[in-house]
Amino acid sequence: MRRYVRNARDLATYVHFDALYEAYLNACLILLDVGAPFDAGNPYNASQNQMGFASFGGPHILSLVCEVATRGLKAVWWQKWGVHRRLRPEAFGGRVHNHKTNQKNYPIHQELLNSDVLDAIESAHGTYLLPQAFPEGSPTHPAYGAGHATVAGACVTILKAWFEESTNIEQLFDPKVADAQGDALEDYTGADKGDMTVGGELDKVAANVAIGRNMGGVHWRSDYTESMKLGEHVAIQLLLEQTEMYNEDYSFTLTKFDGSQVNISKP
């Protein structure tokens, strides 16, 4: 049965089947559909007789989301295979199981070996192996960096550069949240409702997708946090690379995940 995403298990299910740039392409389509303002540096914002299309219009930003996704994926694939080759949590769980059952001896920290969580897992499943949300288990490529998290950082950075980040969400639509069963959407009434912005919600989309892979048991926390920074860097470098490709005078201003701001302008 299809449901709206309401918890970590639902997030894990979503990122089990999604296309890597799907959430951000959807976000871009939604923002275009509701008329979200473009960044103040868009050259056609004040034009009375022209509008952006192939450059600085809807088709341009839609293509950039896909372009930066493939660049981010290539960058993280090199990190996976050419640099880190980090063990997946599932594989590490296998080492924990073999160590606990005296089949092998590994240099595993005692804090983990003595943790109550291992006894809880063994009691529930008859094994110390890490439970997995995905029936087939982890992907067979290394854990770090995370492809989903890198693409999340890259695509969201492009969207934050393109759209006016400070736009209040309530100016565009009424924010909704899934009900407890995931069967329907209901009005969001949180205390921060009036403070929700385009930039903040885009950051949440990226974090939710990346965290969803953690919830699936296939990534470590740092796979998420550091890989989003890698994607952000890829996106900024793409925007810098393209500053000499357009005739229009323009600029992009965006807020990085660390809170600092970046301005990218035509030289």
Would you please indicate which residues are annotated as catalytic (active-site) residues? 141, 148
Q: What is the DSSP string of the chain?
A: ------SHHHHHHHHHH--TTHHHHHHHHHHHHTTPPBPTT-TTTT-SS---BTTBSHHHHHHHHHHHHHHHHHHHHHIIIIII-PPPHHHHHHHHHHHHTTS------HHHHT-HHHHHHHHHHSS-SPP-SSTT-S-SS-SSS-HHHHHHHHHHHHHHHHB-TT-BGGGT---EEE-TTSSSEEE---TTGGG-BHHHHHHHHHHHHHHHHHHTTSS-HHHHHHHHHHHHHHHHHHHHHGGGS-SS--EEEEE-TTS-EEEEE--
Count Cβ atoms within 10 A of the Cβ of residue 104 and give its class: 0-12 exposed, 13-18 middle, 19 or more buried.
Answer: exposed
Q: How far apart are CA 71 and CA 236, in angstroms?
A: 12
